[in-house]
Amino acid sequence: MNLPNSLTVGRIFLVPLLLVVLLTKPEGWRLFDISKEALGAVIFGVASLTDWLDGYVARRRKQVTGLGQWMDPLADKLLVTAALLSLLKMNLAPAWMVAVILGREFFVTVLRSIVHARGQALPASPIGKIKLGAQVIAILVLILGRGPLQEILVLGQAALWVATLAAIVSAMDYWRRFNRLPAVRPAGVAGSDVPRGRVSA
């Protein structure tokens, strides 16, 4: 297994560790005099860094593989889901915001799977990058705001609003671009007319 894929696998293994650290009781649990919130923020920060690093290394070393392209979005979804559900359990994020962000993730995954099955491509949305940045900031700041830095909690809440709104707008943008993709004729059916951007039943 090459280095980029190893980084992705490492990110997957950090997911259960993040859940254990953030959701372990009692509230006063500490390791080496570090609060669980600070440790959780470090784990999430390292995992988020590997998300950028594995792609950078893969492109730099020309080690982009099919396995890596499959595992990377899976690791991202697992990490985001674990982090947001932890925030929900810790009463740091409203349930409807968590539902919107996670719903958008799975919606986009379904669209990309359909497009990939057609042999086409659906590039990442620029708005999605805004959502990703706001999402990472929101999770980190909210975790730290629950622990040693309570004065920054409002910043995390603001970032979560940005992430939620960006999730809605980017989902709409993906849907718009999905429907603008050229139609794909079913194999072996000459002259068939498939509605533009739709999957034939």
Per-residue tokens: 115: 């497009």
Domains, the chain, in order of start with CATH, read 3-179 (1.20.120.1760)
Predicted pLDDT of residue 150: 78
Predicted pLDDT of residue 149: 73
Q: Which run of H or of E encompasses 96?
A: helix 95-117
Q: How many residues does the chain have?
A: 201
Average pLDDT over residues 24-30: 61
Q: How far is CA 137 from CA 48, 55, 128, in A?
A: 10, 20, 14
| pTM score of the predicted model | 0.81
Q: How far is residue 173's CA from residue 177's CA, in Å, rounded to a whole number? A: 6
Task: Please give the single-letter amino acid code of residue 152.
Answer: I
- Between 157 and 32, name the one with better pLDDT: 157
Task: Please give the single-letter amino acid code of residue 170.
Answer: S
Average pLDDT over residues 127-155: 88
Predicted pLDDT of residue 197: 41
The predicted-structure confidence for 183-201, as pLDDT tens digits, reads as follows: 765 555 444 444 444 333 3
The predicted-structure confidence for 103-117, as pLDDT tens digits, reads as follows: 999 999 899 888 888
Predicted pLDDT of residue 59: 77
Q: Of 10-14, 37-41, 149-153, 157-161, which one has max mean pLDDT?
A: 157-161
Predicted pLDDT of residue 54: 78
Q: Is the pLDDT of residue 49 over 70?
A: yes
